[in-house]
Amino acid sequence: MNQAINVEQLNSALTSLRTVRSSVSLVFETLSNGLRADHGEDGKDKFLMELQELLNIVSNNLRDLEQTVNGLPIPVPFNLGNTTYLSQETTQDRQALYTQLVNSYKWTDKIHEYSSYAHTLLSQNSLKRSYINSGSTKRRGKLQSNHNVAPLQVDNVINNIDRSYNDMKITISRPFASNAVVSINLSHVLKAVVAFKGLLMEWVMVKGYGETLDLWTESRHHVFKKVTENAHAAMLHFYSPTLPELAVRSFMTWLHSYVNLFSDPCKRCGCHLHHTSLLPPAWRDFRTLEPFHDECKQ
Amino acid sequence: MGTTKTVHILHNSEQPASVFSILESGTKNIHVIADGLFDLLMMKLSQHYTSKKQTKIESKGPRFELGDFCVKLGSVTMNQNFKGILIEVEYRPCVMANAVWGLLREFLQGLLGPTVPVQPPQHLMSRMNEIYTPIDTIYQYLEHFSAYRKVTGMRNN
Amino acid sequence: MSAANLAPITATDSLSQALKANIIPNQEYLLQGSVLDSAVEVLLHRLRGLCDNVDAGTETFDDQEVCFSLRDPNQQAAPLMLRVRKALDARDMPFQLRYIGQPDLGDKSRPTVVRSSLDIACSGMLIEFLNELGCRIEFEYSVKGYMFRKGRMKITVSKVFKISQSSMSPEPISQSYLVELSVLAPQGQDAIGEDMRAFADQLRPLVQLDKIDYKRLGHMSVT
């Protein structure tokens, strides 16, 4: 409570300080402008009067300031830790703090901005698959264990999958706190990125070998847009909250079957290219992993 | 300098900011990919060489995009004389010639008729399992341009 | 099916247009100086305060440069010098191929050395290419230091090393750092020279940047 009042007083003190500053600068501005045309005939006197008035305002403002400052409680010295000695440090090399300070400032600023965006977005969309709004408490209690898995365990599962393929390289990174983002290089055919929440896959994006990988931008090639679409379907198909490890492994096996995306023809029509879409067989059967065109799969 | 060496300088409108240069020296081909100012440097260097009559050969025409394919129909002219038509088909999602060759052949036969025999280009034969880069396109154009240069009159391709 | 039926602008057209419009940066404005190793920290600190690219710490570089010469077969013109630079700390970057013409010092009134220069980014088999063209290696060295930018100006503070045989650590050529202030600009933009002079004056107490005449330096060492 006491704290709140302090802040208010401090604010008003700062405001009056600003008023003093601006009125002083007004004085200097008028002085530097000198006599103006609108001062008319006996310009000198008028100018002096104007100056007098401005100076009065300054002294009034100053009085206000003094009053508010006197009203302020004498601050208990803030505990700034080691930073208090910052001003006494003169060696330039030893205070390489500037860049770090700027960086941390930028970070907190960004976090603030993003979290407010995220908050509005998340409160608008009721996400079905995400933990954040998983309505009934019963289901939540069960799911939580798979959403909230120790990073080490996730690493183990993924690294195991990585070891079982020679031509598929899987790397894990964690740009967003503890949740893994996994990038997959499948031979020279494609790249994919999968975002995990615990051990559950949340998002997939597939791109070409030469493209740069990120979570949100689509590939510029039609075929990989199609594969991304199908990968989303597969992700949902394999989704199994009770056996998350099996789901990940099945998905990766399925994704690995794209290694012959360009070289194998469609199992049904026997052609590489479908005659209307001009795409190679971009669908893989969930069980047999055989290649089909989207149009041929029924 | 003993053997004669030929320097080719090529531009491709797909990579407008790059200059490709291939130096033929005996059986070896040495290539350099550079930015646009390379042309200026070569002008400067050319004072140091006795150059044969320089011929300029270009392939120019419409460019089509069809799905992930890019098809270019170029009419080839050498010093303003019409020499023939070059068709370039590029399938851009894939970077390995080996993996994509069957698919490309299917497309080409759909375009040119099923009776046309389609062979991988000479330059790619040894590089079927390598990653394809823009300089590979340039080598193929150079192959065809050199063939045009040798043949007088028209040539079907 | 969509087609771009606009006639494409050929590369030669666009080059001659660029030449006509005089937008090709082919002149280098240059000032040089040197500081002793012991004084370099202070200079770096001053530059950190003055320059633009210091938000994320100072930019360093570690390059190896090979200098080629191409002699005129008729022995008429002076040999052409070509320099190839390769970043040792960023191996996947392209080579920098550079042609530098004879420096023109001008009279006292001209603030900087001006020399013609072509800066070309290259990848591929550049060294072999130059060898086959008949260029001979004159000398090579490595250079390591800091790079600053202020507007269009580039400031490098660097140390020159002999190329080491085997795995020995490279041996510095002198006990001082080379400081260079340069701008690449199209022909005729002489106003930039004044800006450079003004900037050099900012550094005056720490390093004296000047027009260096190499011919006179060579002459001095003989006498």
Q: Which tens digits make up the pLDDT trace of A221-278?
A: 999 999 999 999 999 998 887 888 899 999 999 999 999 899 899 998 888 988 888 8
Q: Residues of B at the A interface (Cβ-Cβ below 8 Å)? A: 66-69, 92-96, 98-100, 102-103, 106-107, 110, 131
CA–CA gap between residue B107 and residue B114 (Å, rounded)? 10
In this structure, is residue A161 part of a structural domain? yes
Average pLDDT, chain C: 85
Burial environment of residue A54 by CB neighbours within 10 A (0 to 12, 13 to 18, 19 or more): middle
| pLDDT tens track for A146-172 | 667 788 888 999 999 999 998 899 999
Which residues are B85's β-sheet partners?
B75
The total of other beta-carbon atoms located within 10 Å of residue A259's CB is 18
Average pLDDT, chain A: 83
In three-state form (DSSP H/G/I as H, E/B as E, the rest C), the secondary structure along B15-68 is CCCEEEEEEEECCEEEEEEEECCHHHHHHHHHCCCCCCCCCCEEEECCEEEECC
CB contact under 8 A, C11 and B19: yes
In this structure, is residue A52 part of a structural domain? yes
In this structure, is residue A35 part of a structural domain? yes
Strands B28-35 and C113-124: antiparallel
The pLDDT of residue C58 is: 86
Phi and psi dihedrals of A152, rounded to 5? -60, -40
CB contact under 8 A, B95 and A271: no
**Residue B56 vs residues B10, B18, B22, B146, C12: alpha-carbon distances, Å:** 10, 18, 15, 11, 11
Q: How do the domains of chain B map onto residue ranges? A: 5-46, 57-150
The pLDDT of residue A36 is: 76
Contact of A222 with chain B, judged by CB distance below 8 Å, is answered with yes
In this structure, is residue A269 part of a structural domain? no
Report the neighbours of C using a cutoff of 3 or more CB pairs below 8 angstroms: A, B
Tokens for A52, please give them: 């007098």
- Total domains present in chain A: 2
Torsion angle, CA of A9/A12/A14/A19, rounded to 10 degrees? -160
State CA C23 to chain mean position distance: 19
Model confidence band, residue A95 (pLDDT cutoffs 50, 70, 90): low
The pLDDT of residue C4 is: 37
Residue A130: strand, helix, or coil: coil
Report the neighbours of B using a cutoff of 3 or more CB pairs below 8 angstroms: A, C
* Distance (Å) from the alpha carbon of A207 to chain B's nearest alpha carbon: 9
| pLDDT tens track for C67-82 | 999 887 666 777 888 9
Q: Which of B3, B20, B21, B41 to mutate to test the interface with C (most CBs of C within 10 A)?
A: B41
Q: Select from A210, A223, A271 the Cβ nearest to the Cβ of B106.
A: A271
Domain end (from A38, A71, A104): A71
| Residue B100 half-sphere exposure toward CB, CA atoms < 13 A | 23
| pLDDT tens track for B70-123 | 999 999 998 888 888 999 999 989 888 888 888 988 888 888 888 777 788 888
C57 interaction partners in chain A (CB closer than 8 Å)? 99
* Distance (Å) from the alpha carbon of A166 to chain B's nearest alpha carbon: 17
**Residue A138 vs residues A148, A243, B47, C171: alpha-carbon distances, Å:** 16, 18, 84, 71
The pLDDT of residue A233 is: 92
Q: Select from B68, B100, B106 the Cβ nearest to the Cβ of A222.
A: B68
Model confidence band, residue C176 (pLDDT cutoffs 50, 70, 90): very high
* Positive or negative: CA dihedral C19, C21, C24, C27: positive
In this structure, is residue A192 part of a structural domain? yes
* Distance (Å) from the alpha carbon of A99 to chain C's nearest alpha carbon: 7
H or E segment and range at residue A114: helix A98-124
**Residue A157 vs residues A163, A168, A174, A228, A240: alpha-carbon distances, Å:** 10, 15, 15, 23, 15
Phi and psi dihedrals of C153, rounded to 5? -85, 145
Of the candidates A111, C28, C7, the one whose C-alpha atom is nearest the C-alpha of residue B60 is C7
Q: How many CB pairs under 8 A join A and B?
A: 57
Strands B5-10 and A291-292: unpaired
Place of tokens 């510095």: C172
The pLDDT of residue A4 is: 54
Q: What is the CA radius of gyration of chain A?
A: 33
| pLDDT tens track for B132-156 | 999 999 999 998 898 888 875 443 3
Q: Are the beta carbons of B9 and B39 closer than 8 angstroms?
A: yes
Torsion angle, CA of B90/B92/B98/B101, rounded to 10 degrees? -40
CA–CA gap between residue B137 and residue B14 (Å, rounded)? 10
CB contact under 8 A, C45 and A102: no
| Residue A3 half-sphere exposure toward CB, CA atoms < 13 A | 0
In this structure, is residue A134 part of a structural domain? no
| pLDDT tens track for C96-107 | 999 988 888 877
Q: Give the domain extent around A32.
A: 2-71
Domain end (from A55, A71, A87): A71
Q: Are the beta carbons of B87 and B120 closer than 8 angstroms?
A: no
Contact of A102 with chain C, judged by CB distance below 8 Å, is answered with yes
Range in A98-102, A111-115, A173-177, C119-123 the model is least confident about: A98-102
Strands B5-10 and B28-35: unpaired
* Distance (Å) from the alpha carbon of A277 to chain C's nearest alpha carbon: 12
Structural domains in chain C, CATH included, are: 26-214 (2.40.320.10)
A99 interaction partners in chain C (CB closer than 8 Å)? 55-57
* In the predicted structure, residue A97 carries a pLDDT above the cut 80: no
Tokens for B1, please give them: 């300098």
CB contact under 8 A, A92 and C55: no
CA nearest to B129 within chain A: A188
The pLDDT of residue C133 is: 86
Contact of B34 with chain C, judged by CB distance below 8 Å, is answered with yes
